[in-house]
Amino acid sequence: MPKPVTIGARGEAQEKVELRHTLTSHDKCLPPIYSTPDMIRLMETAGFHALQPFCEDGEITVGTAINIEHRASCGLGADVHATAELESHNGRFYVLRVTATSGDREIGRGTITRAFVRVPGSVGNQGKSGI
């Protein structure tokens, strides 16, 4: 079981948009703009960071649901910043409000849900730096 989790717990993640984060990397006919799956991955990473301090040894959190709007585009070289803030929980499911911004523009928002799980065969705090 995780340690008691504080409503309002926050996490962040950021990256600079590279070609591998764009639609072009999936299909050469598409424009080089930040892809929705990459934005969601960054939001999930922020959620991971928000909840990771509450994990016991051998636990991590995993994503279980997403409800995201990708509201604006950004291109190569843009700095994208994602934040996640715990707003509620229901049993083992923790709902985080997430946003992604580039500069002072919001490019995405919504909620993600994560759950604590024990990693089979884990020893200590392995897995503390990923999603």
Domains and their CATH numbers in the chain: 10-118 (3.10.129.10)
What does pLDDT average to over the chain? 92
The DSSP code for 9 is -
For this structure, is 26 an active site residue? Answer: no
pLDDT (0 to 100) of residue 22:
94
**Closest Cα to residue 39, out of 22, 51, 54, 27?**
22
122 confidence band (pLDDT: 50, 70, 90):
low
pLDDT (0 to 100) of residue 131:
57
Report the percentage of the chain scoring pLDDT > 70. Answer: 91
Amino acid in the structure at residue 117: V
For this structure, is 99 an active site residue? Answer: no
Q: In 21-104, at which residue ranges do the beta strands (DSSP E only) sit?
A: 59-70, 79-90, 93-102
As a whole number of angstroms, the distance between CA 45 and CA 123 comes to 22
What is the pTM assigned to this prediction? 0.89
pLDDT (0 to 100) of residue 121:
76
For this structure, is 36 an active site residue? Answer: yes
Catalytic residue among 15, 24, 64, 70: 70
Catalytic residue among 22, 44, 101, 113: 44
Backbone angles phi, psi at 47, to 5 degrees: -65, -40
115 confidence band (pLDDT: 50, 70, 90):
very high
